[in-house]
Each structure stands twice: as C-alpha cells, then as structure tokens.
Amino acid sequence: MTWLLQQEQLDGSSAAMIGDRKFDVAAALANDVTPYGVLWGHGTADELRAAGAVALFNAPEELQAAFPPAP
C-alpha cells in the first residue's frame, strides 16, 4: 500500500481502503488510510470490526450508494 500511495502521490488521509480481511484493515491503518470492510469476501463482520474497519458493507450496492461516482 505504501508503494501505491507514493506511486500515485496520494496522501493516505484522503484515501480509503476497501477490504474483506483484517490484513486489509491493518494495512490501511498502518498507512493512515480509512479502512472499510466488505462482507461478500472471506472475512467476517467480527474480524473486520475487531481490526478497526470504520464501516461494513453487505453488498456492492451498499458500497456504491455510500460512495457514488463523482459527476
């Protein structure tokens, strides 16, 4: 993740990580990126919450509704 932030010249505080495992959340937090969890992958809600995900999404449509594309 550090490489991606550097490569794209992104500030972690203005980015988000969407992941389905505690490892995704840990990587986001280590890089000052806001972590969100998705429940259609391999991880569980308990795993993602315990890791520090700020919100969980049950389906892609919920994620899209929370983060609509820019016009």
CB-based contact 12:31 (threshold 8 Å):
yes
What is the reported pLDDT for 69? Answer: 85
What is the three-class DSSP state of 22?
helix
Q: List, for residues 13-67, the tens digit of each pLDDT value.
A: 888 999 999 999 999 999 999 999 999 999 999 999 999 999 999 999 999 999 8
Domain count, the chain: 1
CB-based contact 55:45 (threshold 8 Å):
no
The residue with tokens 């959340």 is: 25
Q: Is residue 43 part of a domain?
A: yes
Q: Is residue 38 part of a domain?
A: yes
Parent domain of 28: 13-60
Q: Is residue 55 part of a domain?
A: yes
Q: Is residue 44 part of a domain?
A: yes
Please state, for a pLDDT cut of 90, what percent of the chain lies above it: 72
CB-based contact 33:59 (threshold 8 Å):
no
What is the reported pLDDT for 36? Answer: 97
For residue 23, which of 51, 49, 1 has the smallest C-alpha distance? 51
The residue with greater pLDDT, 10 or 53, is 53
Q: Is residue 3 part of a domain?
A: no
